[in-house]
Each structure stands twice: as C-alpha cells, then as structure tokens.
Structure 1
Amino acid sequence: MERPELPLQQLHAFVVLAEELHFGRAAARLGIAQPPLSQQIRRLEGKVGYALFSREPGRIGLTAAGRELLPAARHALTHLAQGLTAAREVGSGRAGHLRIGFAASLALTVLPSLLRTFRERFPAVDLDIQEMTTTPQLAALRERTIDIGLLREPPARDAELGFETVLTEPFVAVLPASHPLAAQRAVQVEQLADCPFVLLPRAVGPPLYDQIAGLCIAAGFTPQVAQHAVEWQTVCALVGTGLGVSLAPESIRRIRLEGVAFRRIEPDTVRTRVAVAWRKNDPNPLVPGILAALNQDPPGTP
C-alpha cells in the first residue's frame, strides 16, 4: 500500500499546535486565522487515518498517534530548512564543489595564493585539486571532469573554453651544477647547442614545447633530446644527474635540488604564458568566484 505524502505546511501547523496546545495561540504564531489552521489539522489527520489531538472543552492534547508523529515532523521540517539553506549557499556560490586542474609547476607560483584567497572568501566550498599537464586539462574541461584549469600556453581561441592570462614569465637554463656554463651568470642559448636536452614530451603541452624548441632554433640548432620527463621536478632531477640540460619557465628555479643550477638566458625575448581556463557559460556559480579570487590576489603574492 502506497504511503500518503504529508504536505509540509500541514506538518508545520501540526508542530506549532503541538507546542502551543491552543488553537488561538498556534494560529497567531502561524500568522493565519483559526479556521484554516483547523482545516489543515483535519486534512493531516485524514491522511494519517487517526486523530492527532484529543479535543475537550477548553483544552486539547496530543493523542498517542500525535506523540508518535511529533519527532518525525520536527525532523522533516529541520531537514527541509537545512536543505534550503544548503541550496541557497550553493546557488549563491558560497558553498558547493569545485574541481581544479593545475600544472605541477604552478604549485610554485599561482596555486598557493589562489587557494589561500579562495579559502578565505569561500570557506564552505569543497575543493578537489588535480595535478595534470596542459593537454589533459583541456580534455578534462571539455569532458566536464574539472571546472577550472591552471595551465601553460593555452590555445589562442576556443569555441567552448575561455582563457585569461594570469602570469607571464621568462625561461631559464637548467644545468648540472658541475657544468662549465654554471659558472656564468647568464647563458647564451647557442652555448647549449652541443648539449643533450631533458624535456617534457611535446604531447603534454605542444605550445610550451614549441616555444623551447623555437628558442633553440632561433639560436641556430635543434635540441637533441636525450630524455623525456612528464613533470618539471623530474626534468630538474635528471639534469642534476648529468643526463643533460634544459630550458624551463623561470618559476622552476624554486625547485631546490642539489646538483642543479639555474641561469638566466640571453637573448631573453620569449615569455611563457600561464592562464586560467574554464567552460564558457558554465552554470557553476563557483567559477566566477575563483576568477574573481585570481583578480583580487595577483599570482605569486606572498
């Protein structure tokens, strides 16, 4: 047998009358006249199938059925109030769930200040932070498995995704500390022509890879890649073992590894672009919130 649904308005009237045990006072609390209150109670009793109140001249009381229903009615009303509050918080962007993809190197620059500012403004938001390189981030945004991406060298334009530059930075040479060029304050890119290179695979970030290759080509040579590594920290670690040299975004020098030296390069004419990416027309109200947090607290702010 299907159980009848109990309208919340009737439950509210029932709880108030159970607390007041007086139709006049209960009606005044509810802001309604006494006859509509009596009708709501009668409809509720009709759905339950039993009287909820005993009625005697000058007084009313809860029946056994009424006493049984009261805690459940209070729980239902409280649960509804909590649900409405949570819905308002999520709808306003003050709460909810936000999934952020980020390139590992941005944990050294953009990510810490962004998360600090966002946490201060939206402490009730549940953040899911996932480390991934640029190409997987673009795919994850399109597949809706992340909401925001922090990546390097985004596409110039995209019909589905929006991009905003948050940081630009130059490149530096990454050298074994024992390398003769490490004794110099700056390195000419052409001085690296005969060195094996350790680089990220082109597939994980084609524009960034092409920038690095372009620096070498402009200096008159094509980099000879001896080893690939997916993360910059691994690139630096392999350089430190003597496997080769690399060119990397300047923020990579914050990775402090024994046996690795970072030197500025000449000519210093190319900048790598860090951007935030999002789906255009994304209904998640937290997306504008994190974009505002980026604008409020510039990347790298201590």
Structure 2
Amino acid sequence: MTRPELALPQLHAFVVLAEELHFGRAAARLGIAQPPLSQQIRRLEDRVGHPLFTRTPAIGLTAAGRELLPAARRALDDLADGLAAARAVGGGLAGRLRIGFAASLALTVLPGLLRAYRDRFPDVRLDLHELTSAPQVTALHDRTVDVGLLREDPDDPDLRTALVHTERFVAVLPATHPLATHRTVPLRSMADEPFVLLPRSAGPRFHDRVIDVCRAAGFTPRVAQRAVEWQTVCALVGAGLGVSLAPEGIRRLRLRGVAFRDTTSDATTDVMAAWRKDDPNPLLGHFRTLVHEFGS
C-alpha cells in the first residue's frame, strides 16, 4: 500500500479552519478567498476518505478531524523547525565547525578566539582536534577538519591562510644555566649548547623557521633531543638535557626548573589559520572574519 502524497497547504488550511471553525475567518487568515479554502479541505477529505468537518448546523470537527489535528500541527511545526534550521545552517549561524589546533595555542590565542566565536554564534557546534601543524594540513586535505590553527604558513597551493597572531621567540633554559642570570640572552651565546626541538615531521615550516633564526645569529643548532609537545620540550630542558627556542606564549607553562628569557633577536613566528580553497561551508566565512579581526 502506497502512502498518500503529503499535502502541506491542505494541512495548513485544515489546521486554520479547525482553529477558526468559520470558513470566512479562516480564508481571511490564510489570505485566500473562501472557494479555494473549501477546495483544499475537500481535497484533504478525499485523501483521508472521510469528512473532517461537520457543516450543519455549525462547523465542527468530526472524529476523523479530531484525530488528524494533532498530527497536522506536528507536521507543520516540524516543517517550520526544519526550514528555520536550514536557514541557520545556510547562513552560517548553526551547524558544526571542526577546528584543528596546535596544543601550544591553548596558551595564547585559542581561548579568546573560541570565546569570541561562541559569543557571536552560540548555535554552532565546535569540534576541536588537537594536532601539530603537519597533521593539521593532512586533516584539511582529508576533510576531517574544516579549519586549522597552526604555526607558520604551510605554503600549500590547495589552502588559503590568514594571519592570526605573531609571537617573538624566547630562549628556554635550565633554571641553573649561567645564561638564565641574564634578562636578555644573545642567541649567539646558545651556539654551543645542545638543543631540544620539535621533530620536523610535526611542523616542517616552524622547524625550519627555528633553524633559520639560529643561522641568522651565526650558528646551526645541534639537536640533542626531540619531543612532539612543548611541555615535554620544556621538561627536558628543565632536566638539563639542553636548551630550546620557543614561541613567546610557551613561557606561560611555568614549569619548575625552567627559565624563559627574551633574546636579542627580533625574529618572530606566525600563527596562521588555514582552510581549503574549495570548501563551501558557510560557517567558514564567519570564522575567517573573526580571524581577520584577531590578526588586525
């Protein structure tokens, strides 16, 4: 048995007439003439196979009409809710935005950026994925995240980027290191020290940026240890296994046995937002606007 075709205009006419119990008032409320209203009701009654209204001595609902009325109201309410939800998603006011982020950004720009976005778009669900920079680029290509917040521009032809934040570099030293007695450390004075760095596979562009900053100071760092997370890098430095060069925000870790010092270098590192060029997701437009505000 086939299901009857859904006739939403007829259901709307039926609900209004059931509420007014008067053809003239119902037609006026619907903005149509009375004959078209009568035709809509007749068509719906034909679909049901039974009268929905008594006509004499006064208009009233039959047993079939009383049974249909709650379902008709639910159908109209569901349609209205669906249309509103579709408009919200289409306008970038609702839906889901998947964001990849480097863990260290939780110490700097991430909380403020997310707070500002949630204040403006409370109905958007944010799915956060903690990833280092290189895996974020992979996730963008695999479409498992919609936007990435990473260190340094990935220089990928399939991605667009925008500057979010710029940080200076700081020296990360064991608290007992002689250089820790200085308020500002010349980078050249770290030339003979073993370094603890992130692996290049975690973020090639950032890794190369650190190497370039050291080379501009006249040396290539000798890497003794590598760690994926900045907290681990700093912990290894605190254990005396070497020194490091980190974005300024890392000093907020406040680890025992670790000293953070400004350097004489004016070199900086950039935090970038990245997204696919071909992504039509309307949620991205609002996020990009917010990113530009943070980067201005």
Q: What TM-score bracket applies, with the shorter chain setting the length? A: over 0.9
**Uncovered stretches (5+) of structure 1, i.e. residues with no partner:** none
Maintained 8 Å contact 1:175/1:260: yes
Q: Give 2:42's aligned residue.
A: 42
* 1:78-122, Cα deviation, whole Å (9 max, x unpaired): 111111111111111222211111111211222122112212211
> Does structure 2 conserve the Cα–Cα contact (< 8 Å) formed by 1:6 and 1:44?
no
Say whether 1:171 aligns with 2:177. Answer: no
- Tell me how far 1:209 sits from its aligned partner: 0.9
* Aligned 8 A contact 1:117 1:297 in 2: no
Q: Distance in 2 between matches of 1:217 and 1:295?
A: 32
CA drift of 1:297 comes to 4.2
Give me the whole-angstrom Cα distance separating, in 2, the residues matched to 1:18 and 1:89. Answer: 31
- Mapped partners of 1:120, 1:220: distance in 2: 47
Q: C-alpha distance in 2, partners of 1:21/1:6?
A: 23
Q: For the residues of structure 1 that align with 2:110 and 2:213, how far apart are their CA atoms?
A: 27
Q: Distance in 1 between matches of 2:54 and 2:197?
A: 83
For the residues of structure 2 that align with 1:241 and 1:46, how far apart are their CA atoms? Answer: 84
Alpha-carbon distance, 1:216 to partner:
3.2
The answer to whether residue 293 in structure 2 is matched with residue 283 in structure 1 is: no
**Partner residue, 1:117:** 116
Please state whether the residue corresponding to 1:207 is helix, strand or coil: helix
State the TM-score, normalizing by the size of structure 1.
0.92
Once residues 153 and 217 of structure 2 are traced to their aligned partners in structure 1, the CA distance between those partners, rounded to angstroms, is 25
Cα distance in 2 for residues equivalent to 1:231 and 1:50:
71
Equivalents in 2 of 1:215, 1:37: separation in Å?
A: 78
| Residue aligning to 2:129 | 130
**Equivalent residue for 2:15?**
15
Q: Which runs of 5+ in 2 are unaligned?
A: none
Q: Which residue of structure 1 lines up, in the alignment, with residue 269 of structure 2?
A: 272
SS at match of 1:288: helix
Matched residues in 1 for 2:75 and 2:226: separation? 59
* 1:48–1:194 CA distance, 2 compared to 1 (3 A): same
- How far apart, CA to CA, are the structure 2 residues paired with 1:119 and 1:255? 26
| 1:220 Cα offset (Å) | 4.4
What residue is the counterpart of 1:245 in the other structure?
A: 243
Q: Which residue is 1:87 aligned to?
A: 86
Structure 2 equivalent of residue 227 of structure 1: 225
3-state SS, counterpart of residue 195 of structure 2: strand
What is the CA distance between 1:218 and its match in structure 2? 3.9
Give the superposition deviation at 1:298: 5.1
Distance 1:269 1:53 in 2: 83
Aligned partner letter, 1:248: A
Is the partner of 2:157 in helix, strand or coil? Answer: coil
TM-score in terms of structure 2 length: 0.94
Amino acid at match of 2:52: L
Residue 73 of structure 1 corresponds to which residue in structure 2? 72
The count of residues paired between Structure 1 and Structure 2 equals: 296
Which amino acid in 2 is paired with 1:91? G
Question: What's the offset of the Cα at 1:141?
Answer: 1.3
CA offset digits 1:233-283 (Å, max 9, x no partner)? 2211221122221111111111111111011223x1422111111122422
Q: Distance in 2 between matches of 1:101 and 1:116?
A: 16
SS of aligned partner of 1:25 = helix
Following superposition, the deviation at residue 72 of structure 1 comes to 0.4
Q: Is the 8 A contact 2:162 2:291 kept in 1?
A: no
Amino acid across the alignment from 1:144:
R
1:151 to partner: Cα distance: 0.8
Identify the range of structure 1 (268-277 vs 220-229) with the bigger mean alpha-carbon deviation: 220-229
Give SS of 1:127's match.
Answer: strand
Query: RMSD of the alignment, in Å?
Result: 1.7
Task: State the match for 1:159 in structure 2.
Answer: 157
Q: Separation in 1 of the partners of 2:185 and 2:166? A: 21
Matched letter for residue 117 of structure 1: A
The SS at the match of 1:263 is strand
Query: For 1:167-209, what per-residue CA distance to the aligned partner results, in whole angstroms no more than 9, with x for missing partners?
Result: 2222111011111211112222232233222111100111111
